[in-house]
Amino acid sequence: MCKFMADTAGTTTTPGRIVLPTDLVPKHYDLTLEPDFEKFTFEGEAKIDLEVARDCDSVSLNTLDLKIHTTSVLADGVLVTDPPTLSYDADTQTTTIKLGHTLKQGQKVRVVQTYTGELNDKMAGFYRSKRRDGQYLAVTQFEATDARRAFPCFDEPALKAEFTVTLVADEKMTCLSNMDEASTSTVDSKITGGKRKAVKFNRSPRMSTYLLAFIVGELKSISTDKFRLPIKVWMTPEQKEEDGLFSLDVAAKTLAFYEKAFQAPFPLPKMDMVAIPDFAAGAMENWGLITYRVVDLLFDQKTSGAATRERVAEVVQHELAHQWFGNLVTMDFWDGLWLNEGFATWMSWYSCNEFYPEWKVWETFVIDTLQGALGLDGLRSSHPVEVPVHRAEDINQIFDNISYSKGSAVLRMISKYLGEEAFIDGVRRYIKKHAWGNTQTGDLWAALQEASGKDVQSVMDVWTKKVGYPVITVTENEKDSSITLKQNRFLRTGDVKPEEDTVLYPVILGLKTGDGVNEELILTDREQTFKIPGGLDFYKLNADHSALFRTNYTPGRLTKLGEAARAGKLTVEDRAGMIADAGVLAASGYGKTSGVLGLLQSFNTETQFVVWNEILTRINALRNAWIFEDDAVKEALKAFQLNLCSAKAHELGWDFKEDEDHILSQFKSLMFGSAGLAGDEKIKVAAREMFNKFKQGDYAAVHPNLRSSVFALIVRDGDESDWQALLDRFHSAPTADERNTCLRSLGRTRDPVLMAKTLDLALNGEVKSQDIYMPLSGLSSTSFGIEQRFEWMKTNWAELVKALPPSMMMLSSVVSICVSGFTKPDQLAAVNAFFTGKDKKGFDRSLDQSLDSIRAKAGWLERDSKDVADWLTQNGYLEKSKL
């Protein structure tokens, strides 16, 4: 790369972006790579064919941690200079080849370089992954900017090229890349001095560097012929083939479904999906060679719970959606990341609903994806969906709930507004027009506008270009049966400044009345009045919560909506979304928390899993914010939770049939855990009985759907032998799913010594780098655990920075977990003091978001501590004498 300089020839004209000069256009890479599993290096040769777009006398390529041995440059087949002069800029990760000769516009240029790279353990670039038996495989992870760790390249999404890959390895090794195998030959090894096989793959279509992938290692596979092209699931030798059958079936169905929906064939000759033992993300959509965390691709259908099945389906469908959104049609630059991730997220829900309608995923969307988006976007430190990014280290920070969840929520909103048929038609037009190319958001709006005949851009531009969303305050006018709506930007801290409240969002109101839902009404001004057909007896804004805003009703209207819910007039999405809005608005100062507690109490006869999930989310948010408050108040809140959910837990029970309904399974699990952790004695006894059998080796005694709850209860209330039994099971469990559940539960202990041991797991080598955050999360359940975790982070900061480079996103996650549990101004000051003067590159955005979250909780406590205590006292959960 080279920094933008307005007076330098050949640089980009995009202000602030650090990108490569535009003098040369890559056309084809011919790459040969040979990993060395003894020295943890690899030998590489790159032959890069370029076209000269403008006269220039140098070639700039992205490289990182590559030792370049030889370089030659040919123009129209003639050697330009030998040897050329090379210089390296570590700040921009750019190697510049000075030629001492001018390349002329239109010339064909070939750059040939040999080099050695590091087969690192950072889960980035071309890296090594360790199997449970200690053997290694070499795998890649190039998104966002780590292809440069594997070969010199033009490492930007718009600089697409074709690729021919050759991998050199021992005979026993499997070699995979994006394309199918073209030939296998025997060659001289640069590493062993002997002979090795060289597997050459067919030339790829045009694609971005971040989508290239290759793997070398001992692997086995299962396959299916249920799709017109070969599909395989690959795994390491110790893993069970049958654990990949579900993913294989989902992939075959989904590829066929997407081809039909998009009216565009999957353009590669095969699809490989590979379970990688060490993987920083959940999965990566490399074209034709998708890589996954083991837990997101493989699972034992007999010993895994319903939530695991749903997660695997969603991840597989998300990555397959990328084969069109991201791979065939690619964002122009990373500020358009949402075009990749928002689309893939929306499509995964869309296709999941097609194959598994009984899962009712659009109901879950409201409490999962939508609330995730609204939660982050309600912080002052949020960012627009289309966020300017300038440097490589900034890019990974926008792989967040804005790009994924808000992006997909924006698409859900526009699909409701246009109608699903018009929306999908627009998507088809978008793919057809821009296949093999790069796009910006305006290209999508144009395609949707063409399909629907509606002015999409004027409605949607604000939602992607501006940060945040509004709260709509409702005033009722009884005389003429109208409502006056006023929009203001919403912040969770409740302290919006006038200069932060200048944006007017085009709000698709989704007005529900007795006559149905009006999807055409849009609030475009600061304040507007709308007539309600049939009068004010029944109405609700944001039907099914398909739009991005929160509604601030009067207390009287909330009461009427509660009555409407009990009368069956509100959908599951309506009920869950209404509870979410009420809870978040009270926490932000738009109402009193006592009102929300009363609202939650009125839902004690609710029958649906998704609504109960949101009820308990609101209670947990309250308990987390009050975690450093007086013990008597905390016990009263726990008693409220117990009173609310215990009866439902016992009504549902915790026995599971072999063919149990998917949602009912999750419902039973939710209520068992929520009541048990709130103190239900029968559930605690049941959990102990299950775990005692589990400790004796009867691992089936704890049903997969109850593992998380039983483990949490036992570690919280048990002794060191229980904690040790769970740690032992972490090491011996046959599936990644169960190991992860063990790891997340260990921090639930209330013993300070065991807390310290749990924290030690993160860095003592027992836990893979990809899972470092897991043992940390459990400590959020106690105030002492939150404090001890922060002290651990401070003590081990240098080691954490070394183990988790910013490019991995893992450091950002660890920082967020270690600081966001705080609730007090003095704790906020302590966090600020620790990070003052430290290099926050790669996690500054997420740190700011965590600090904003602390501010929001501190403000909530200041406003409503007395209000909550009074309500708990008045309702018999708290004795005045204990205050």
- Count of CB atoms situated within 10 Å of the CB of 666: 21
- Count of CB atoms situated within 10 Å of the CB of 543: 22
Q: Are strands 94-103 and 24-36 parallel, antiparallel or unpaired?
A: unpaired
Secondary structure (3-state) at 134: coil
Rounded distance between C-alpha atoms, residue 830 and residue 819, angstroms: 10
User: What letter represents residue 424's amino acid?
Assistant: I
Both structure tokens of 725: 């039994």
Q: Which of 409, 283, 399 is nearest to 345 (CA)?
A: 409
Rounded distance between C-alpha atoms, residue 532 and residue 515, angstroms: 10
Please, which residues have CB within 8 angstroms of residue 350's CB and are 6 or more apart in sequence? none
Both structure tokens of 603: 């839902």
Cβ atoms 219, 236 nearer than 8 A:
yes
Catalytic positions are 319
Residue 150's DSSP bridge partners are none
Rounded distance between C-alpha atoms, residue 105 and residue 57, angstroms: 11
Q: Where are the beta strands (DSSP E) in 370-440?
A: 438-439
Q: Are strands 507-508 and 511-513 parallel, antiparallel or unpaired?
A: unpaired
DSSP secondary structure letter of residue 202: P
- Count of CB atoms situated within 10 Å of the CB of 134: 6
Please, which residues have CB within 8 angstroms of residue 800's CB and are 6 or more apart in sequence? 763, 793, 811, 814
Q: Which of 681, 676, 661 is nearest to 707 (CA)?
A: 676
Both structure tokens of 686: 């049941």
Q: Which of 673, 675, 670 is nearest to 608 (CA)?
A: 670
Cβ atoms 494, 588 nearer than 8 A:
yes
Cβ atoms 587, 625 nearer than 8 A:
yes
Cβ atoms 171, 181 nearer than 8 A:
no
Secondary structure (3-state) at 183: strand
Rounded distance between C-alpha atoms, residue 417 and residue 522, angstroms: 10
User: What letter represents residue 729's amino acid?
Assistant: R
Rounded distance between C-alpha atoms, residue 81 and residue 171, angstroms: 39
- Buried/exposed 427-453: b ≥16 CB within 10 Å, e otherwise: bbbbbeebeeebbebebbbbbbbebbe
Structure-token match 């996650």, residue found: 813
125 phi/psi in degrees, rounded to 5: 75, -145
Torsion over CA of 767, 769, 774 and 777, rounded to 10 degrees?
A: 120
Both structure tokens of 278: 């060490």
CB-based burial of residue 833 (10 Å sphere; 0-12 exposed, 13-18 middle, 19+ buried)? Answer: exposed
Secondary element (H or E) of residue 846: helix 844-874
Secondary element (H or E) of residue 136: strand 136-141
Rounded distance between C-alpha atoms, residue 413 and residue 588, angstroms: 24
Supply the DSSP string of 802-815, one letter for each residue: HHS-GGGSHHHHHH
Cβ atoms 367, 576 nearer than 8 A:
yes
Rounded distance between C-alpha atoms, residue 504 and residue 350, angstroms: 30
Both structure tokens of 689: 């009985």
